[in-house]
Structure 1
Amino acid sequence: MASKKVASARTTQLVSTYGVGALFPAMDESFMVLGLSEWPDQEGTEIAEPRLARALGVQGFRTPPSGGTKGPSVPVIRFPRWYSCPQCHRLDELQRFCSWDEHECPDCHCTLVPSRFVACCPRGHIEDFPYFAWVHAGQRDQQRQGDHRMRLRSSGGSSSLGAISVSCSCGVQDVSMANSFNSDALKKLAPCRGQRPWLHGATDEDCSETLRTLQRGSSNVWFSSVRSALSIPPWSHTVQRLVDRHWKILRNAGSDSLPSLVRDLALPGIDVDDLVAAVEARRAGETSEVPTEHDLRRDEYKALSAGQPDASVHQQFVVRPVGALPETVGDFELVSEVARLREVRALDGFTRVRPHDPQEGLDRRARLTLGSLDWLPAMEVLGEGIFLRFDPQRLAEWETGDFARRRTAAVQQAEDRRAKDWNLTEAVVVRARELLLHTFAHVLLNELSLDAGYPVASLRERVYADDDQAGVLLYTASSDSAGSLGGLAAQSAPERIESVITSAVRRASWCSSDPVCIEATSTGADGLNLAACHACVVLPETSCERQNVHLDRATLVGTLDDPSVGYFGGRLLT
């Protein structure tokens, strides 16, 4: 079967937006990206990040194939399989209309339209919407009569689902799509069959989840599960990057031959003994305990807190503490300029219907391939940013107060309800410092976008809120050189960071939706936010690492009646 190019996408989109199992729109057609075992062998640039690779159980990462005029591309299949004709309204599988490489109605010669609806479950399974079962539900006596030529029509009276109806030539009554999006609409009608069309030759899995009807182009048809890590010392040093580049050769070299081997690879300014030591350290790291997400974040927090001087133009991690902080920024123990950083983001699975939350006890992520692979698709980000570490004593005093406890308890109740509704093994534990740090990161990102020259969608947060952590990293999220122009890191200067923080807190003290917003007791997805809306602290999805949940503006600025209960206690509001 010959292949053809159907559309194009940026390589970074194959990690974040159109990865394995995602639906890719192309003009009047729709395709699904196939699993990694079907991707071209040895294509894409290798990306090294040993800490993240160890955590994900792979040898390394690669950028997705770039395609181009001559290069191999990522393979896709047609999905959904059901199409309709806009002229005669016939509804059927594509293979009953025409051949696999066409999408034209043989009777009307009109371009066919892919099914507008698909059926998905939270474990990543997906299949065509069960039109036959939908139109014949409750009318079983008619299922064996006639030739069952179905049609999909829209009355045109409105854009609602009630205006769309499915009919069948067997004589059953027409059925509208009005109730098809109810959470239990397909529970008894079409149980999930565990279909995985993105994995060529895969058998159906046993699945107890309930299928949900979704729009083919809606964002909840595919949620990427992306794991990321910063390149920190010693892995960010030039010598380690040289080891990464030649690791396939150095990995199995004998102890006797290693010095002579690395001597041929050494660059000017790099000592052979340092290179040998780096190889030995890398080998020891591969036999050590597999790092967890907590381990990765803990090491990053320590590296950001310790700082790293600029010793070489090739260095990928440069963090410099700023000078003495102004009195108005006294709520922070440390503010650092992150002049250079590198982040690697790898796709390690996906979900549908709802995003994957690493803190949940149940892992619903779908597999990217049937077999085992020693690599994952990834992208690297080079950028700059600001790191702020809160005063631990000041933070401890606030988070043990009555106000912080009440706000945390309200969000925890929402998490408990969500765990029950979604049959999770355990609810995510909400902590007061997480609410505070996460909300502060959002309001500061909004403020920095006004001063640093970056749109807020190009900025990103990294929140460190464990028991022994109390910091936020705000950095650029661009995959090209535009992410390191210096405009963001420059805002960390003492004379600038004072006005940025003060202005951010004052701006957060009032929302155009107040007093409704500040007095809200449940907002956002699954009610996991309190005083937070799109007019004040909610950010674009590209900027927030926690899907815009666990946000509460009142933790920063208090309430309208008592601003002093907020962390900043009204000090920056006058």
Structure 2
Amino acid sequence: MSTGRPIGGVRRAQLITTYGVGSIVAVNSESFMIAGIDRWPDPEDRGEQLVHEPRLQRQLGVRGFRLPPASDNERRGDVPVVRFPLYQSCPGCNRLAKAGAFGVRRSPAKCKRCDRELVPSRFVICCANGHIDDFPYFNWVHKGSAPTGASEDPHDMKIEASGRSAALRDIIISCSCGKRVSMEGALSKAALKGITSCPGTRPWLGSASSETCGQMPRAMQRGASGVWFSDVRSAISIPPWSEGVQKLIAKHWKSLGKVKALRELVEDMELAEGTPYTVDEIVQAVERRRRIEQGLDDDSEVDLKAEEYEALTKTTVEKSRRQDFVCVPAPEGEVDPSLAIDQVMRVKRLREVRVLQSFTRLAAPSPADDKKRRAPLFSGDDRPDWLPAIEVIGEGVFLRLDTQRLEQWESRSSVIGRTALVDASYRRRFEQQGARPDRGITPRLMLVHTLSHAIINEWSLDCGYPAAALRERLYVSEKMAGILIYTATSDSAGSLGGIVAQVESGDLGGSIRRALDRISWCSSDPLCIESPAGGVDNLNHAACHACVLLPETSCEEFNTLLDRALLVGTPDDQDLGFFGPVLSATTPHGAR
């Protein structure tokens, strides 16, 4: 990261998930915001590595993805940042003012009077439309009354902490005009009503970038999780895009993408030499990719999940070490009819591309969100033809449930009635935003999702993986009922081989039974199992941190749409659970 010169560093993956465009990054004693991608170094000039995933490119309307810049060389440039928040305070004289008033020109920021390093403001304001600004200290101090003293007198502010406690009431903001007030109550929802409205500022796009907003903002601590939520889209590379020939042509796409005499160029470049591919196969791969990029293939609305589901249910053997997708059946005997699992696939190699497409503030992205909530990564209408992305390599296990058994179970009135409560809460979330629900919440979705969480928790214990290193990918519709549990992490945890080993060890059925047995009792029972609704917007039933919740990086649904009662039943109705017959009918519920 740089403001003209390097000031610190973060991992590439964090620039997509944690410290992306518009987020606040603490570097030593200072605070900065990641600038928009239109201010990043020109990827062509840097020779920055391309990331291709044609299926995701056509959905997001870009020509490709690029890894975030990573360089220790000052001349090559790096991810630019801007100083934010602008308000700083001096621990020596307690003066509170914008950085410019201290004469700050570069890092580290210091007070010229005291020669002490400045402390960035602890508070900022955000609105639901993605805007962010400095906390309005002047308005807060003088709320409800005019400043005292002569109009031409300067208003120098100070911030002091009594030291009695860390409570906001012991942080005092004072003005040279005599006004003095604590920060108590500043973080409440309506604290800024009548004091300020959202100015519509977007510092990550430049100081001049703002838009009309007028919403009532909310004050937050600058390090709070609600200040920035990434809006990430992802896709798993599947045939034919996972084949080595695609990686081969990607290296030379700048030349191959436009030339008319394609076969002659492939032959002149000797691309087939030393590879298992013929000239014809390379030409066909280039032509197919051209059609996708030019929009000639009318498949822009194809469901990515449906394509992946089809690939995961088929065998794809390893033909080349360049392959990104290898999926083979489990050894005989691993499919357990009593568990209603009719297919198990070992995904020995997979590649996932994660793309940062926007971000939100105050609340995580939701399908019910208005488009205004999604903050842009660039300024103006001149949209770049790329987005920042990372690619991660991992392994996984795909499980498909018996759809015939599922249809019988999800037609029960007790199951339908229990799920209908969550579906109603889900619809209310959209109605509050004036939108139509993007889907109905079905018993199948909640069952498959909760089963996924139970297995991840169990495998994290059996394999030694941290739960945050495992991820789920749900495939649920009228025609789909599957789970992919996989490791796709940028560190060494993704290459330990422990997930596939769960299948190859011959104990897959045993591990799933242990997972069901573990969640049949929660340390918060009976409160947890008898809870009528819970979680964000009442989108969970029997689910809490003591039983099935996961780190949110592992969950597709932000830990919502969960109900372990649909798996194992309740004390009053064990048959409600899909796996009720698997568990011992003679063992009292909760005594396992």
TM class, shorter-length: over 0.9
For 1:499 and 1:23, locate their aligned partners in 2 and report how far apart those are by CA, in whole Å.
45
127-136 or 323-332, which deviates more: 323-332
Matches within 5 A, 1:73-222: 73-101=78-106, 102-140=108-146, 142=148, 145=151, 146-172=153-179, 174-200=180-206, 202-222=208-228
1:180 Cα deviation after fit: 1.6
Measure, in 2, the Cα distance between the counterparts of 1:68 and 1:201: 27
Judged with a 3 Å threshold, the aligned counterparts in structure 2 of structure 1 residues 180 and 540 are, in CA distance, closer, same or farther, namely same
Q: Decide whether the 8 Å contact of 2:147 with 2:177 is kept in 1.
A: no
- Residue from 432, 445, 464 that aligns with 2:456: 445
1:335-375 Cα shifts (integer Å, max 9, x gaps): 11111111101111111111112354645211111131111
SS of equivalent residue, structure 2 residue 258: coil
Is the CA contact 2:335–2:342 (under 8 Å) kept in the aligned structure 1? no
2:499 corresponds, among 469, 488, 494, to 488
After superposition, the C-alpha distances for 1:445-464 in whole angstroms (9 at most, x for unaligned) are: 11111222321111111111
TM-score (norm 1): 0.94
What is the aligned partner in structure 1 of residue 243 from structure 2?
Answer: 237
- The corresponding residue for 1:49 is 53
Q: Does 1:337 align with 2:341?
A: no
Deviation at 1:110, TM superposition (A): 2.4
CA distance in 1, matches of 2:66, 2:427: 39
- Relative to the length of structure 2, the TM-score reads 0.91
Q: How does 1:409-424 map to 2 (within 5 A)?
A: 409-419=420-430, 423-424=433-434
The corresponding residue for 1:58 is 62
Specify the code of the residue in structure 2 equivalent to 1:47. V
Deviation of 1:482 after TM superposition, in Å, equals: 4.5
Q: Which residue of 2 aligns with 1:458?
A: 469
Contact 1:30 1:79 in 2 (8 A): yes
The alpha-carbon distance between structure 1 residues 107 and 118, as it changes in their structure 2 partners (threshold 3 A), is same
Q: CA deviation at 1:515?
A: 1.2
Q: 1:268-417, aligned counterparts within 5 Å?
A: 268-286=275-293, 287=295, 288-289=297-298, 291-292=300-301, 295-322=303-330, 323-327=332-336, 329-358=338-367, 360=369, 362=371, 364-370=373-379, 371-417=382-428
Counterpart-to-counterpart distance in 2, 1:357 and 1:320 = 35
Query: Structure 2 CA distance, aligned partners of 1:259 and 1:114?
Result: 59
Q: Match for residue 4 of structure 2?
A: 3
Partner of 2:265: 261
Residue 481 of structure 1 and its aligned partner are, at CA, apart by 5.7
AA in 1 matched with 2:466:
P
Gaps of 5+ in 2: 588-592
Structure 2 CA distance, aligned partners of 1:138 and 1:520? 45
3-state SS of 1:140 partner: coil
Comparing 313-322 with 220-229, greater Cα deviation is found at 313-322
Deviation at 1:433, TM superposition (A): 1.7
Tell me if structure 2 keeps the 8 A contact 1:61–1:376. yes
C-alpha separation in 2, matches of 1:509 and 1:567: 12
The one-letter code sitting in structure 2 at the alignment partner of 1:426 is R
The aligned amino acid for 2:226 is N
Aligned to 1:502: 513
Label 1:344 to 1:564 Cα distance change in 2 as closer, same or farther (>3 A): same
**How many correspondences in the alignment?**
569
Opposite residue 57 of structure 2, the aligned amino acid is A
Alpha-carbon shift at residue 69 of structure 1 (Å): 4.4
Mapped to 2, the partners of 1:2 and 1:510 lie a distance apart of 53
Change (3 A) 1:415 1:97: same
| Contact 1:55–1:290, Cα closer than 8 Å, also in 2 | no
RMSD, aligned α-carbons: 2.2
Tell which deviates more after alignment, 401-410 or 217-226: 401-410
Shift of 1:200: 2.4
* Structure-1 residue corresponding to 2:590: none
Kept in 2: contact 1:361–1:427 (CA 8 A): no
Q: Aligned AA for 1:398?
A: W
Q: In the TM superposition, what is the alpha-carbon distance from 1:184 to its structure 2 partner?
A: 2.2
Residue 479 of structure 2 aligns with which residue? 468
In the alignment, structure 1 segments of 5+ residues that lack a partner are none
Q: Which of 499, 514, 531 is equivalent to 1:520?
A: 531
Farther off after superposition, 386-395 or 38-47: 38-47
Q: Distance in 1 between matches of 2:317 and 2:193?
A: 59
- Indicate conservation of the 8 Å contact 1:388/1:471, yes or no: yes
CA distance in structure 2 between the aligned counterparts of 1:439 and 1:133, rounded to whole angstroms: 48
Q: Is the 8 A contact 2:67 2:390 kept in 1?
A: yes
1:33–1:74 Cα contact (<8 Å) kept: yes
C-alpha offsets along residues 205-243 of structure 1, whole Å, 9 cap, x if unaligned?
122533111110111111111111110001111122222
Return the alpha-carbon distance in structure 1 between the equivalents of residues 149 and 17 of structure 2. Answer: 43
Larger mean Cα displacement after TM superposition, 448-457 or 5-14: 448-457
Q: State the Cα deviation string for residues 395-451 of structure 1 (Å, max 9, x = none).
A: 122223223223322223433444455x35234542222211111111101111122
1:564 maps to 2:568: no
